[in-house]
Amino acid sequence: MRRFLLTSIATFAFALTGLCSVTIAVLPYSVTYRGNIPKKMTEEKIEEGRRLDSENYQTAMIEQLTRMAKKKKYVFLDINVIGQRQIDAMLFKSGIDTLVNSLSNAEIAEILGVTHVLRGSVDQIFIMSDGAAMGVGAIGILTGNGGSTATSSLNIRNALENLETNELTYSQQALRTTKVTRPAARALRSTFRQSSRRMLRRIKKGES
């Protein structure tokens, strides 16, 4: 049975890579909260916030890469960007019941048949007084609503690895500051745009 499942996933992956010369698996981002975290954010709300941020960052990067790949100068690369749902479905087909972040890039590439794996992390440091921390509610943090002027520092890292050459195609570290109640993914939109542009330039250079 397991042999059949592995054969199925290999066939599916081959079909995917046969259609696209470059396939990028964008993994959920690793998110940490530090600093003077708002007092009203319980452990459950913190975990919920980290999960939502992780998915939002992943989605934002996928959108930017997909948009950039449609430009004329990159069309010849036939880029396909896959995200968490597609990854989960393919892992399920392969009979692997595990969190994708627990797998190495090489394991992910072998299972999914992708050429590149993108991992990212965001370290959010809350910068606010004790009074502000008491006044910013969990709902405001998670929804982006609220009137607080408290800020947070966002330290983002992106790393794209080419698994066909086992080389790091692109890496980036950037620091941004935003209001605590502003959705962090929106604050990092320009960073994702810049990062995706540079990634595709490096991929294009490697293919030429």
Listed residue (113, 91, 94) closest to 102, CA to CA: 91
pTM of the model: 0.78
Whether residue 13 contacts residue 70, with contact meaning beta carbons closer than 8 Å, is answered with no
Per-residue pLDDT of the chain (208 residues; tens, 9 = 90+): 444 444 444 444 444 444 458 999 999 899 999 988 877 788 999 999 999 999 999 999 999 999 999 999 999 999 999 988 888 888 788 777 667 778 899 988 988 899 999 999 999 998 866 555 555 544 444 444 444 567 889 999 999 999 999 999 999 999 998 887 777 788 888 999 999 999 999 999 887 6
Residue 37: which residues within 8 A CB-CB, separation 6 or more?
Answer: 46, 126, 133
> Residue 154 is inside which H or E element, if any?
strand 151-162
Whether residue 171 contacts residue 162, with contact meaning beta carbons closer than 8 Å, is answered with no
Residue 53: which residues within 8 A CB-CB, separation 6 or more?
Answer: 29, 31, 122, 124, 184, 185
* C-alpha–C-alpha distance, residues 89 and 188, integer Å: 28
Q: In sequence order, which ranges of 20-129 are alpha helices (DSSP H)?
A: 43-69, 72-75, 84-93, 105-112
- Domains of the chain in sequence order: 2-207 (3.40.50.10610)
DSSP 8-class letter at 163: T
Helix axes 2-19, 84-93, angle to 10 degrees: 140
Q: Using only the alpha carbons of the chain, give its radius of gyration.
A: 19
Which residues partner with 172 through β-bridges?
Answer: 158
DSSP 8-class letter at 3: H
* C-alpha–C-alpha distance, residues 192 and 203, integer Å: 16
